[in-house]
Amino acid sequence: MMTAKTQVSERRKYPRVERILSVQYRVKRSKMAEEDKTTWYNSNTYDMSVDGLAFIASRPFLVGDILELRVVMSGVLDVVRAHGRIVRVEDMTKGRYLVGVQLKKHL
């Protein structure tokens, strides 16, 4: 019998791996009129793949919002810069949100 997690993983083009890396992000484009587009926020990745990542945020976002991201690749100390579209927001608990981002453009 297939579980929901198995079905999701089969839809993905690339497998996800659990990696905890430092990530900075800021909003580039949002459906919310009053969105702050200048402040950078810090977090850690939850998991990632070739074309996306998930991280924990202390506030909700809207699906479709565009973020600018900087991910520090441990071991090589290189910073990957990209724009990504939010494709998923899950309310975890206690003001924590799991934010799924599909990477669209490497900078």
Q: What is the pLDDT of residue 40?
A: 93
Q: What is the pLDDT of residue 2?
A: 42
Domains contained in the chain, number = 1
Count the Cβ atoms, other than its own, within 10 Å of residue 45.
20
Residue 62's domain comprises 32-106
- How high is the mean pLDDT of the chain? 83
Query: Does residue 70 lie in a domain region?
Result: yes
Residue 89 has pLDDT above 90, yes or no: yes
Query: Does residue 15 lie in a domain region?
Result: no
Cα–Cα distances in Å, from 12 out to 7, 49, 53, 87, 93?
9, 10, 12, 13, 26
Query: Does residue 6 lie in a domain region?
Result: no
